[in-house]
Amino acid sequence: MGGFPVERPRRLRRTPALRRLVAETRLHPAGLVLPLFVREDLAEAAPIASLPGVVQHSRASLRDAAREAVDLGLGGVMLFGVPSRRDAVGSGATDADGILNAGISDIRDEVGDDIVVMADLCLDEFTDHGHCGVLTATGEVDNDATLERYAEMGVALARAGVDVVGTSGMMDGQVAVVRAALDDAGAQHVAVLAYAAKYASAFYGPFREAVDSQLTGDRKSYQQDSANRRESMREVRLDIEEGADIVMVKPASHYLDVLRQTADSVDVPVAAYQVSGEYAMVEAAAANGWIDRDRAVLESITSMHRAGADIVLTYWATEVARWIAEGRA
């Protein structure tokens, strides 16, 4: 007489060693990318209130952070610049001495080819109106005029020494235009990480503080509506047709369905961006003693890999890599 139940899935959950053996998803530092902020005219690193533990870097502290990322074996860093002066067309983005380009050069100088150096290719940090593109006379975001600026910015980032540009502006045709500009400038080697499915999200709130965003209003005329999933497949398809080397879904936690469908439908690496609000929520709940912080961090990132992400951008990248090195994750 056979036992009941016939199948006992709990057998493989009995001990930590068994659970480790059968884990379908494993965290590895090489799959993590650390977003970094570098601010012009800053003497030393400055905290960001809504992102506890994350800082705006000075050029000197940025070098230290990049070095630490290398030492911990992270896959890459994604750099964002915070300029002192802004204008209507985001001139600082294409200025070779602008803070983003200077930061890229600093990191490259500090760590050579030991880590993948990525940078945000978008105008929002550099415009005085805070939009991701340039505006028409009536205040709309002008898609095709913005593409010209993105092409120039891609070349500037390449000249500064970037490995990967993150096209995050959600303008139609941006990947094709940036790819062509890079190729024309002799930067065929620079890869494009396309923010392919990027939603107009409330979860970017703390990031806006991190980059001193000047935005009033929203980005709903260019970023996607959270109601839509099929539309993401269209965005992903277009970005790959236009030459994207990696496609990303953003935010991550609330879009795991989009992430899974993307991973199932493409033959390029897939990234997910665990954005500032996702980070801040866990930190805030943990600060109140309402959640086990470390477990929540690991569970959230593991879920993104389980949903199909090869690469996760997360503000916890350094800390998680340290836990992995210590055998705690």
Count how many residues are written for the chain: 329
Which one of 124, 235, 242, 283 is in contact with ligand PBG (CB under 6 A)? 124
Applying CB under 6 A, does 120 fall inside the site for ligand PBG?
yes
126 makes contact with ligand PBG (CB under 6 A)? no
Active-site residue identified among 198, 256, 312, 329: 198
Q: Which of 37, 204, 255, 316 binds ligand PBG (CB under 6 A)?
A: 204
| Nearer of residues 248 and 329 to ligand PBG, judged by Cβ | 248
Please report whether residue 168 would count as binding ligand PBG according to CB under 6 A. yes
Task: In whole angstroms, give the CA distance from residue 270 to residue 118.
Answer: 15
Under rule CB under 6 A, residue 174 binds ligand PBG? no
Q: How far is CA 255 from CA 189, 224, 271, 304, in A?
A: 31, 12, 12, 9
Among candidate residues 250, 259, 277, 305, the one labeled active-site is 250
207 binds ligand PBG (CB under 6 A): yes
Residue 329's alpha-carbon distances to 22, 77, 323, in angstroms, are 15, 21, 6
CB under 6 A: which stretch of 59-67, 118-126, 229-237, 297-305 binds ligand PBG? 118-126
Q: How far is the CB of 307 from ligand PBG (least distance, A)?
A: 18
Residue that is written with structure tokens 């994604």 in the block? 78
- Nearer residue to ligand PBG within complex by CB, 78 or 324: 78
Task: Return contacts of 130-138, CB within 8 angstroms, 24+ apart.
Answer: 130/213, 130/214, 130/215, 130/216, 131/215, 131/219, 132/168, 132/169, 132/170, 132/171, 132/219, 132/222, 133/169, 133/171, 133/222, 134/88, 134/89, 134/90, 135/88
Does 165 interact with ligand PBG (rule: CB under 6 A)? no
> What is d(CA 56, CA 39) in angstroms, rounded to the nearest whole number?
6
What gap in Å lies between CA 271 and CA 78, rounded to an integer?
12
Q: Which of 45, 82, 118, 122 binds ligand PBG (CB under 6 A)?
A: 122
Contact 116, 66 (CB under 8 A): no
Judged by beta carbon, residue 19 or residue 198, the one nearer ligand PBG is 198
How many residues bind ligand PBG, per CB under 6 A? 9
CA distance 90 to 92: 5
Q: At which residue do the structure tokens 């965005």 appear?
A: 235
Q: How far is the CB of 137 from ligand PBG (least distance, A)?
A: 24
| Nearest distance, CB of residue 35 and ligand PBG, angstroms | 6
To the query of whether residue 220 is one of the catalytic residues in this protein, the response is no
Kind and range of the H or E run holding 56: strand 55-57
Region of 6-14, 62-70, 119-127, 230-238 interacting with ligand PBG (CB under 6 A) = 119-127
The catalytic residue positions are 198, 250
- Interacting residue ranges for ligand PBG, rule: CB under 6 A: 120, 122, 124, 168, 204, 207, 219, 275-276
